[in-house]
Structure 1
Amino acid sequence: MKLLKLPYLAQKEVLKQMEYAELFLLSFLSKRSMRMIQSVKRKEIKNIDILTSSCFINIDSYKFCAGSDKKVIVTLYPEAFESDETLRKEISLGNVVCSMEYKRRKKSNRYFQSLIVYYFYSEMETLSMIVYNQLKALFGNGVTFSLNIQDSALGYNSLPTFFNTKRSEMSLGTLLNAQVLENYFMNVQEQEYLSIAINGLSGYLSPNSKFYNTQELDIKCGEWYWGIDVLSHFKGRILRLITASDIDNEICQFIARWKSCQELKNFECLAIFMESRGLRNIEEIRRKFGFKDLTPEQQVFGQKKRSNHSSYIVRDDGIVAKMLIDRFFIVMEVQSFTEEQMLKGTEVRV
């Protein structure tokens, strides 16, 4: 290959101008070509998104995208996908022999090179893992992988698992077997962020599931009982929940867990939005946890962004959580100061 015969500095300049897809293909040629690409860190690549979609009960396409503009590196399609087969060429990725297509495409009045790899269903998981491992090796362990699972009308028998994935987004249009979700979280790292929209679960997650350790969880669930489970077992920092009504007791238990200082020590924010009837007894919740009204001065004390909190509660160690409660929602934001500091107007800055 002519590139390998160029001086090192010339190689680096050529590699910097190459498309991600070209670097990906080049990395499979030899160990030397892989090391050469690794030596030229593409600093603009901070995240790699793995986008999936399906027509049946399992994943049938993957897109691996990089950079802030989510530029596609490689797309995986089933062998039966309709295309001009005269453009396909045989290629070996790792130990899998498959076909590929690399051609110029037009999108939004811009032309770009598109790499598509076609697979047989029996090799889909193997091939997707080969691509994932190759990209991880190419661009380094500092790259954050995010998984985005698109809606499926029929549900999934399994979810793809890439161990280094720390951020996930799932939009599932039907009931999902709880064991499928449990298996996913058993086989990935603890999630920094998870957004999940789902009609409901068939079955229950373990109370000790890694799902509940997600640091920032956005969840929309059509089944009220899963909202109850999430409030009962959540251990992360931020929880946003859209759910059905009839969860007054669970909201009270959640606040009690936080107030006791025994659990939820790193908790920061709770936002619950309820459908249907909403909260049954707001005044009982306010009375039980000693809600206190905020003065205009206290509302802006320690405020980093504009908010509409109208009251606050106090943890057993004196730390304040500013509150906003209405029939159909409750918002709770934990502060970095005590009630005494707020009343005196002396915030401790860290």
Structure 2
Amino acid sequence: MNIAFSFSFFHHTTFIQSYISKITMKLLKFPYLVQQKIIDLIEFQNLLVLSFCSKRTKVLIQSLQRYRWKDIKFVKYSLDEKDKICVRVRSENIDECIFLSPTTLEDTVITSMDVLHPRYFGNQYLYDREEKQLVVQGIHDFLYELFGSSIDYEVDSTENKLPPSLKNIDRTCIKVPENTTAEELETCFVASPNQEYIEIDGQCYGILSTNSVIYGVQHLRVCFEGDHGDEILLRFRGNRLQFHATTFHDSTICQFLKEWKSNRGFQNLNSLVINSFDYKNYVAAELLKDMDVKQLDKIEHTLCVTWRMSISYPSNVMFGYFPPKSFPSELTSRDYLIRDGDGEKASVSIEDHNVRFALWNGNSCEMEIINS
């Protein structure tokens, strides 16, 4: 396949007039060193788009530009309610986006190697709305083959339907559409069951299966006002769990603490944060009753446990400032529990609308004594 692109040259006449001369060059016909010089002059986004032209072009660019892409940290696919797609590629020195807008194109067949329709306006491409899932899948498969498995791949969906289930995804953020069932929500994670971070904003109808991959994610953030918090907490098998605007029955909090303390569950859990806002008020004396709560020896001391909770990669940040993949959290309390069997200690804080729980020696946890 011949890959052609144009360079524009400005020529000034004695009348200070200019015109543009377009020269077509067949890139794949040039010697290797000439190809390298040409490709080195192409900006990252144009180079990325050029790699979509054919398999030969992709292999060529991949071999010549490996040094430029070795520092890429993540690729983020943002899908919004207007069916627009944003593909963001980010490293310390690269911040590039490809935008795709939906349209209805007659007689258009989109395959995994032909994911971008040739109609191009500014920095935005058009794609067939009816083939959205195939387009997203094709772009992701292509970029994964291009960049490899050493970087993060994230899906961030705020659209009116659930995003496609993609392989090799590390992080997923979903604003759950109305009338979504638990079974439908679970299908989003079938192709990538072992993710680092999942964020669910909104509730679904029905109950997730007991072996749902959502319960096994390393870091889970849940944002909804529904009543599914109890089942998610008691079935969670991951490392860090955080709830926003979610209410819990007091009996659920007590059951969680008792199961952890008796070493009958939550062996993988390092931290739990519940913020019910104004929807629920928790009373420490009632929830910690009969829990054999310990306190620090010196009354003037309190314990601050810190850790980092994963977050979605921010979409809009200043260039030169690399977006963080986690955010610091902390718990300050004099109260703690000791787990039966192994003597593991965990601080616990229950006040107003908040419940916090964190292991002293959990992964990424730090301890410090501060004066009260």
Structure-1-length-normalised TM-score: 0.77
In structure 2, what is the Cα distance between the partners aligned to 1:258 and 1:63?
Answer: 42
Distance 1:5 1:80, change over 3 A: closer
Query: Is contact 1:159–1:180 with CA below 8 Å preserved after alignment?
Result: no
Q: Which runs of 5+ in 2 are unaligned?
A: 4-25, 308-327
Secondary structure (helix, strand or coil) at the match of 1:299 reads strand
Residue identity in the other structure for 1:116:
Y
Aligned to 1:329: 354
Q: Which runs of 5+ in 1 are unaligned?
A: 82-89, 105-113, 346-350
Deviation of 1:80 after TM superposition, in Å, equals 4.4
> Are residue 129 (structure 1) and residue 137 (structure 2) matched?
yes
Aligned to 2:14: none
In structure 2, what is the Cα distance between the partners aligned to 1:132 and 1:244?
Answer: 33
Residue identity in the other structure for 1:313:
L
Aligned to 1:79: 103
Secondary structure (helix, strand or coil) at the match of 1:36 reads helix
Aligned to 2:84: 61
Deviation of 1:246 after TM superposition, in Å, equals 4.4
**1:300-341 superposed Cα distances (whole Å, 9 cap, x missing partner):** 58868875223111111211101211131111110118xxxx
Residue identity in the other structure for 1:176:
T
**1:182-218 superposed Cα distances (whole Å, 9 cap, x missing partner):** 11122323221112210x2211110110011111111
Query: Is contact 1:196–1:218 with CA below 8 Å preserved after alignment?
Result: yes
In structure 2, what is the Cα distance between the partners aligned to 1:211 and 1:37?
Answer: 37
Alignment coverage as a number of residue pairs: 311
Aligned to 2:56: 32
In structure 2, what is the Cα distance between the partners aligned to 1:309 and 1:10?
Answer: 65
Aligned to 2:172: 168
Residues 133-282 of structure 1: matches in 2 within 5 Å?
133-150=141-158, 152=160, 156=161, 158-172=162-176, 174-198=178-202, 200-224=203-227, 226-276=228-278, 278-279=280-281, 281-282=283-284
Query: Is contact 2:254–2:288 with CA below 8 Å preserved after alignment?
Result: no
Secondary structure (helix, strand or coil) at the match of 1:76 reads strand
Secondary structure (helix, strand or coil) at the match of 2:72 reads coil
Residue identity in the other structure for 1:285:
L
Query: Is contact 1:323–1:332 with CA below 8 Å preserved after alignment?
Result: yes
> Are residue 52 (structure 1) and residue 79 (structure 2) matched?
yes
Distance 1:310 1:277, change over 3 A: farther
Deviation of 1:298 after TM superposition, in Å, equals 5.9
Q: Compare 307-316 and 92-101 and name the one that shifted more.
A: 92-101
**1:67-105 superposed Cα distances (whole Å, 9 cap, x missing partner):** 058844433322249xxxxxxxx997546587334454x
In structure 2, what is the Cα distance between the partners aligned to 1:280 and 1:302?
Answer: 21
Relative to its length, the structure with more helix (as a share) is 1
Query: Is contact 1:91–1:97 with CA below 8 Å preserved after alignment?
Result: no
Q: CA RMSD in A?
A: 3.1
Structure-2-length-normalised TM-score: 0.73
Secondary structure (helix, strand or coil) at the match of 2:241 reads strand
Query: Is contact 2:239–2:268 with CA below 8 Å preserved after alignment?
Result: yes
Query: Is contact 1:159–1:181 with CA below 8 Å preserved after alignment?
Result: no
